[in-house]
Amino acid sequence: VQLQASGGGLVQPGGSLRLSCAASGFTWDDYVIAWFRQAPGEEREWVSCIGSSYDTTYYADSVKGRFTGSRDNAKNTVHLEMNDLKSDDTGVYYCAASNNLSKPPRPCNKEYGMDYWGKGTQVTVSS
């Protein structure tokens, strides 16, 4: 199983970045992909869940309206388009996968709900 996050970098406030998470080694259609982030000295926090259809994509209030998740099922990849970035968005961004068929269902906005984790990609928002 592999989840590979990429696309991080240094950007000025108000700028944009597009993160990607490429997955392999599990049945793609059975999994929800989530994004979490961890700022220096802070606990990891949930950012977004990206399900298999548009109406199953959710966002933390802190990024709603600025971040947009999408899923390319042909490439087993999800993207997170991040616009109007703020200094508070700085951190290491992780993608993780949660089996959508688990009984009972597990939350995609909690770390304990994840089955697999990728290594993070650093996002730094600074002038």
Cα dihedral 98, 122, 38, 78, rounded to 10, equals -20
Convert the pLDDT of each residue in 76-86 to its tens digit.
Answer: 999 999 999 99
Percent of the chain surpassing pLDDT 70: 98
**Backbone phi, then psi, for 86, in 5-degree steps?**
-120, 165
Percent of the chain surpassing pLDDT 90: 86
Convert the pLDDT of each residue in 26-72 to its tens digit.
Answer: 999 889 999 999 999 999 999 999 987 656 899 999 999 999 999 99
Taking residues 82-100, what's their average pLDDT?
96
Mean pLDDT value across the chain = 94
Q: How confident is the model at residue 101 (pLDDT cuts 50, 70, 90)?
A: confident
Q: Give me the pLDDT at residue 104, please.
A: 87
Rg of the chain taking only CA atoms, in angstroms: 14
Q: How far is CA 2 from CA 11, 25, 91, 118, in A?
A: 27, 6, 21, 7
Q: Give me the pLDDT at residue 115, please.
A: 95
